[in-house]
Structure 1
Amino acid sequence: ACERLDHRSCEALEVVLKSLHFDFINLQAAQLEENGALSLLDMILYYESTTHLDISDNSSMGTSGWRALAHLIKQSVRLSRLDACNVPMVDYPAQCLSKALLTSRLSVLHLHNAQLSGVPLYTLVTALKSNRALQELHLNNNRLNSYQDALQLGDLLRYNNTLHILELSNNAIRKKKT
C-alpha cells in the first residue's frame, strides 16, 4: 500500500536527509500534501540532500509546498535537475516556479504535461529570458501551439543563449507553410 507523505512522515525522514546526500530523490506520485511538501522540501534545502529531485505527479502540494519548492530552487547550491511533470503549472505554481527560475542554478528542467500553453508559458519564458544557468528545458506534451506559444519560445531562444536543449515533442507546433 502507498503511504501519503504528510507532515509527520516527512519529519521522520529528517534523520536520513541529514546523514546522506543523494544523486536522485524520487518523490514521484508520493501523494505529497501541503504541510508534508513544505517540511520535506525545506529539509532537502537545509541539508542540500540531492542534485536531482523528481516531484512529478504531486498535485496537492498547495501554496506552502510551492513556496517551499521555489525557495529550494532559488537557494540550493546542489540541486541541478528538477522534474515536475504531470502537475498543472497554472496560476500560483507557474508564478512561483518562474520567479524562482530568475536566480536558480538548475541546469535541467522537465515539465512534461504541465498545461503550460498560453499565460503559464508566457510567465515561464519571461523568467527564463534572463536565466543564465538552465541548459535543458523539456516541455513535452503541453499542447503548445504554433501561434502565441511558438512566438514565446522564439523569444526565449532569442534572449537566452545558455539553453542548449529545448524538447518540444508531442505538441501542436507545426512548421509554417511557405
Structure 2
Amino acid sequence: MDAEEIRAIFKFSVQEKNIVSSFETQEELFLPFLLSLKSGGSWSYASEETKSIAVKDVITYYDEDSKTGYTLEKIYLFIDPEVIKEEGIVRRLEKCGTNEERELVERPYSITMKAKKVILAEVNPEIRKITIRELKKKSILLKGTPAYSAAHELEHLEKGEIEGIPLWNFEYIKQPAKNEYKKVE
C-alpha cells in the first residue's frame, strides 16, 4: 500500500466518523450500515439498550444504446426497528454466518417496519458518491429481497441464530433429457 492510498483511507475514515456523529445517535448503531457498505449484504446489531439493522436494496440502471450502466445501492438503517405488518410467505434458501450449508426458511414477501430513526444511504458507483439522510417517514414498506433481508436480520435480533431446514433434507430428482429449441431471430 502506498502513501497516497493510506491518505485516501484516512480521509475516507474521517468523513465516515463525521457523517456518523452528525446523526446524533450512538455510533455503534451505525455498525450494520458500515458493514453493509463495506462488505455488502444486510446486518444487525443489538445491545441491552437498543438495536439496529441495515437492509440493502439494489436497482440497476442500464442504457441499451451505450451498453453501460450501474447498480445503485440503497441501504436503510433502522434504529430500534419494529415490525408493523408482514404479508405473504416466500420459501427460500439462505446461508448465514458460520453455517456451512444453506437452509430453507420462510420469509414474508412484504414487511412494513417502523423505527425510532430511519436513515437512507444511496451508494452510486457511477459518480462515486454516498448520499445519506434521515428520512422523515418512520415506517417503510419493503418488498421482495429487502423484505427477506429485514426478516432475516430481525430473526437474528430475536433468536440469535437463523433456524431453517438444512439443504440435505432436499431430494434430487433426475429428469430425462429434453430436446429444447430456441427460436433465433
Shorter-chain-normalised TM-score: which range?
under 0.3
Larger Rg: 2
TM-score (norm 2): 0.24
Instruction: Give the structure with the larger strand fraction.
Output: 2
TM-score (norm 1): 0.25
